[in-house]
Amino acid sequence: MRGAVLLALCALGCAPKAVRVGSKNFTEGVILGEVAARACAAGGAVTEHRRQLGGTAVLWRALRSGEIDAYPEYTGTLASELLRGVDARDLRGMRRALAREGVAMTAPLGFNNTYAIGVPEALASARGLRTLSDLQREPGLALGLSHEFLDRADGWAGLRARYGLPQRDVRGMDHDLAYRALSSGAIQATDLYTTDAEIAWHRLRVLSDDREYFPEYSAVLLYRADLPRRSPSCARALESLGGSLDAATMIDLNDQVKRRRRTESSVAAAWLEAHRGLRSAVASEGRAERVWQRTREHLAMVLSSLLAAVLCAVPLGVAAAKRPRLGTLVLGAAGVLQTVPSLALLVLLIPLLGIGAAPAVAALFLYSLLPIVQNTVAGLRGISPALRESAEALGLPPFARLRLVELPLALPSILAGVKTAAVINVGTATLGAMVGAGGYGQPILRGIRLDSTSTIMEGALPAAALALLTQALFACIERVAVPRSLRGGR
């Protein structure tokens, strides 16, 4: 199954074995992935960046299974989620634990993206605030903290205890509101991540964690232990990035993407050129090419899954219609599949099929089964007993009856099922972007990440258009394939 799907997709563009860099689905991750991929490419390796693949679990699994060769990660995440019993500040222990998984780690890139408390720069310099300890002198400061930070045991409660903070005016509020409240002066401090673009944007000073309360989340690049053998230049390029990015730089890069709406590619390329002397081309594909590329990916997913589903579901539907007990079983199973949330199904399929188009196609295939099986069964069961008897009375054997009489009579219903599946697929395929399958979901995800409606529309509008087109296409197919006598309302 996987082989067949991959084969089908290979026809749509299989590149020679390249170094593949992955990245998580958030801006900083994508920028770092882009920096890593471009650094590799500048060293001469054929490199591919599979961006915004999903969350930690997806990337980690993809790295170990060899579907990607490298991705940016944080030491805190490694310590708390991926490697048990290793301290985030113990790099040597971490390297040993990683080596057991066949993974290597670069030196820390140079910044620590963790929780922090930010204070407006003006206020901070007026009162001489540099560290969290300095807050002990400011009992009147109003704090606006995110609900999550307030609730976590290792959030506000622990911070107050560690530093003996005296502030009484502590409010829970939404993160975006907190920034607004800071600029209006309603609060004087908030929690944030140390590399948030908003730090630059709202001119905040990040107070240093002088008592090392917050966990260490140093950015590193993870890569497969076999990479230095397969592409020495790439491994060297990744290692050379260690220590090259400090927090101020990262804040700036995030800010360029988030606020100034530059692409991660161009921001990464500009930084590599200015600070590392590495030139790399930024493919300035226009919107049309981008949409066309997404369209191809999207269509490939929808068509291959739909074709496979028709080939499986129609025979299943025939069997189900002929044998009521089997029918109950088949319809029940297909119905249960339908109730698995699409995102969950995609994630469940990753261990079996890896990342990329394969799990997306498989999920779409599974979702397509129910409507087609159901309508095939309904179409066949709906044939009047008189017609059924008539076909039998002619002396046609069962298979000929099926082919010449029953399936043609059930065709309108079967087509309606395929249409339903196709329209659902066009919509659901947008989720494929979460597992690296591309398609119209890619700009939607990116748009959500960057809070950019126009980017979201770049995916949402074509997806809607494709759904309408699918409807129209099926109306045409129906007109051609179904004799006028079988069409509705005769």
Partner 1 sequence: MTAHGPTAASLVGVMKRYGGAVALGPIDLDVPVGRTTVLLGPSGCGKSTLLRLINGLIAPDEGTLRVLGEGVTPASVEALRRRVGYVIQEGGLFPHLSARQNVALLPRWLRWETPRIDARVAELAALARLPEALLDRHPGELSGGQRQRVALMRALALDPEMLLLDEPLGALDPMVRAELQRDLREVFRTLGKTVVLVTHDLREARHFGDLVVLLRDGRVVQRGPLSALESAPSEGFVRDFLDAWREAP
Cβ closest to partner 1, residue 282 vs residue 396:
396
CB of 396 to partner 1, least distance (A): 6
The whole-angstrom distance between residue 295's C-alpha and the CA centroid of its chain comes to 18
Beta pairing, strands 189-193 & 143-145: parallel
CB of 373 to partner 1, least distance (A): 22
**Cβ(26)–Cβ(434) below 8 Å:** no
Cα distance between residue 377 and residue 478, in whole Å = 19
Among residues 380, 347, 244, 357, the alpha carbon closest in space to that of 304 is found at 357
Contacts of 233 (CB under 8 A, 6+ apart): 40, 43, 44, 45
Residues binding partner 1 (CB under 8 A): 386-387, 389-397, 400, 404-405, 408-409, 411, 482-486, 490
Q: Please give the C-alpha separations between residue 73 and each of 49, 68, 178, 291, 300, in angstroms, as whole numbers.
A: 15, 13, 28, 30, 31
Cα distance between residue 132 and residue 238, in whole Å = 34
Cβ closest to partner 1, residue 299 vs residue 482:
482
CB of 325 to partner 1, least distance (A): 20
Cβ closest to partner 1, residue 184 vs residue 485:
485
CB of 374 to partner 1, least distance (A): 21
CB of 390 to partner 1, least distance (A): 3
CB of 382 to partner 1, least distance (A): 12
Among residues 361, 356, 414, 355, the alpha carbon closest in space to that of 383 is found at 414
Q: Please give the C-alpha separations between residue 62 and each of 59, 69, 71, in angstroms, as whole numbers.
A: 5, 8, 10
CB of 462 to partner 1, least distance (A): 37
270, with CB counted inside 10 A (0-12, 13-18, 19+), is middle
Residue type at position 65: S
Among residues 1, 50, 195, the alpha carbon closest in space to that of 109 is found at 195
Among residues 416, 423, 414, the alpha carbon closest in space to that of 314 is found at 414
Cβ closest to partner 1, residue 264 vs residue 406:
406
* Sheet arrangement for strand 189-193: 170-172, 143-145, 189-193, 115-120, 204-206
Cβ closest to partner 1, residue 164 vs residue 395:
395
CB of 474 to partner 1, least distance (A): 18
Cα distance between residue 13 and residue 413, in whole Å = 35
* Sheet arrangement for strand 103-105: 47-50, 19-22, 70-74, 219-224, 103-105
CB of 481 to partner 1, least distance (A): 10
Cβ closest to partner 1, residue 228 vs residue 408:
408
Cα distance between residue 175 and residue 196, in whole Å = 12
CB of 488 to partner 1, least distance (A): 13
Cβ closest to partner 1, residue 96 vs residue 487:
487
Cβ closest to partner 1, residue 96 vs residue 479:
479
Cβ closest to partner 1, residue 119 vs residue 407:
407
Cβ closest to partner 1, residue 262 vs residue 381:
381
Q: Is 16 helix (H, G, I), strand (E, B) or coil?
A: coil
Cβ closest to partner 1, residue 229 vs residue 484:
484
CB of 482 to partner 1, least distance (A): 8
CA angle 87, 92, 98 (to 5 degrees): 80
